[in-house]
């Protein structure tokens, strides 16, 4: 199954109050494995960058001034994400900005049924713990040493690893569904087939005691006083 993990950076916290999307990073997964296909873009927000937001992601007015508008890149973005499920951390935030930008350029919004929120997953799995991306990377041993500032593509790549951990760990791709089904009761042929799956036959190992071991055992027994089996023999 194809899925897209994504993250955004913005000028602030509320698209409804005029904040804009300035960066998006998307990572493609197929059956919970990264394919290496990504989508990454910066956008000119057509407004000044507040210092509080710049301190988080480091994207300045100067850096963004020559970047394309969201409307200039929307076709490539929509082609990349297609109709797949979209995974984000605190997904309502990212969806609100993405849908606001889509609405601004006359495109259909992305419906909530495509949304997978790793924050909600983490809260359900680890109640009472810290659920930030940094805290969860630490919990699952995901290397984030290169994360100095927030960045949409970097955070999406970290989140892709976290999503795999939250949905079963790194071995989730090892499917057992295609194994030969268990044999029906009483079927000797099928039982033999199951026992033989991937296991070469080998001769049984000897387990009988050697004459020397038997002699040592007899000598040890002869030194026991009133053994229980001797008492039983007397009673019988």
Angstrom CA distances, 106 to 18, 102, 167, stand at: 17, 6, 35
Burial class from Cβ neighbours inside 10 Å (0-12, 13-18, 19+) for residue 12 reads: middle
- Distance, in Å, from the CA atom of 103 to the CA atom of 119, rounded to the nearest integer, reads 25
Residue 94 labelled as part of a binding site: no
Question: Catalytic: which of 126, 131, 150, 217?
Answer: 150
Q: Is 207 a catalytic residue?
A: no
Residue 126 labelled as part of a binding site: no
Helix, strand, coil percent content, the chain, rounded in steps of 5: 45, 15, 40
Angstrom CA distances, 23 to 3, 14, 83, 103, stand at: 20, 15, 21, 17
Residue 190 labelled as part of a binding site: no
Q: Give me the residue label for tokens 């089996």.
A: 229
Residue 101 labelled as part of a binding site: no
Terminal-residue alpha carbon distance, the chain: 72
N residues, the chain: 236
Residue 72 labelled as part of a binding site: no
Residues tagged active-site = 150
Residues in the annotated binding site for substrate: 7, 9, 52, 57, 155
Residues in the annotated binding site for a divalent metal cation: 7, 9, 155
């Amino acid at each position: 199954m194809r899925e897209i993990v994504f993250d955004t950076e913005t000028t602030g916290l509320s698209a409804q109050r005029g904040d804009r999307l300035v960066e998006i990073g998307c990572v493609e997964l197929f059956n919970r494995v990264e394919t290496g296909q990504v989508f990454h873009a910066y956008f000119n927000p057509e407004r000044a960058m507040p210092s509080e937001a710049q301190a988080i992601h480091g994207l300045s007015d100067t850096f963004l001034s020559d970047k394309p508008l969201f409307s200039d890149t929307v076709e490539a973005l929509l082609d990349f994400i297609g109709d797949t499920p979209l995974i984000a951390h605190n997904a309502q935030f990212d969806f609100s900005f993405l849908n606001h930008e889509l609405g601004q350029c006359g495109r259909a919004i992305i419906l909530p049924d495509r949304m997978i929120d790793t924050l909600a997953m983490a809260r359900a799995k680890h109640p009472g713990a810290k659920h930030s991306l940094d805290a969860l990377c630490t919990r699952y041993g995901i290397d984030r040493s290169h994360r100095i500032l927030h960045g949409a593509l970097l955070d999406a790549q970290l989140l892709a690893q976290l999503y795999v951990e939250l949905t079963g760990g790194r071995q989730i791709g090892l499917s057992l569904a295609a194994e030969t089904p268990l044999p029906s009761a009483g079927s000797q042929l099928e039982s033999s087939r199951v026992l033989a799956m991937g296991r070469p036959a080998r001769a049984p190992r000897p387990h009988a005691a050697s004459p020397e071991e038997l002699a040592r055992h007899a000598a040890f027994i002869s030194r026991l006083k009133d053994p229980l089996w001797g008492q039983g023999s007397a009673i019988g």
